């Protein structure tokens, strides 16, 4: 996926509706949280097995895809609003996490990095 292409389409969508005026960092973060809530609604009260079964239905596939797309779109919007290169940020964070969670200390463990006994 080309994040810049997504950002351009979202900008065009907002510009055509004169909505950019509402897309402040705070509003976009709150919209992102709202969309995460909508995603959560689709899985709440379902077991993991039920979620996977739901995701295999036509209705579930569309509903999950829609909410994931909403979450991603607002994430891209927040990043743009605060001047963060999302692609660069994600790669940098994966590298940081790799440092925090050395495979030899973290393999098979769900412990937080502060509890691994390695570098923090
Ligand atoms: Mg939604």
Residue by residue, pLDDT tens for the chain (120 residues) are 899 999 999 999 999 999 999 999 999 999 999 999 999 999 999 999 999 999 999 999 999 999 999 999 999 999 999 999 999 999 999 999 999 999 999 999 999 988 887 544
Every domain range in the chain assigned CATH 1.10.287.1080: 3-84
Give the distance (Å) from ligand 1 centre to CA of residue 111. 32
Give the distance (Å) from ligand 1 centre to CA of residue 110. 30
Give the distance (Å) from ligand 1 centre to CA of residue 38. 6
CATH second-level architecture of 3-84?
Orthogonal Bundle (1.10)
Identify the pLDDT of residue 104. 93
In 3D space, the residue among 32, 37, 35, 36 whose CA is nearest the CA of residue 78 turns out to be 32
CA distances from 5 to 30, 49, 93 (A): 23, 35, 22
**The whole model's pTM is what?**
0.90
Give the distance (Å) from ligand 1 centre to CA of residue 71. 7
Identify the pLDDT of residue 119. 47
């Amino acid at each position: 996926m080309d994040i810049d292409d997504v950002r351009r389409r979202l900008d065009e969508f907002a510009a055509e509706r004169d909505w950019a005026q509402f897309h402040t960092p705070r509003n976009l973060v709150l919209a992102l949280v709202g969309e995460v809530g909508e995603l959560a609604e689709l899985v709440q009260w379902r077991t993991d097995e039920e979620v996977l079964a739901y995701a295999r239905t036509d209705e579930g596939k569309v509903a999950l895809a829609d909410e994931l797309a909403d979450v991603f779109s607002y994430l891209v919007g927040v990043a743009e609003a605060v001047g963060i290169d999302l692609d660069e940020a994600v790669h940098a964070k994966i590298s940081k996490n790799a440092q925090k969670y050395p495979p030899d200390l973290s393999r098979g463990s769900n412990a937080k990095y502060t509890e691994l006994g390695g570098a923090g």
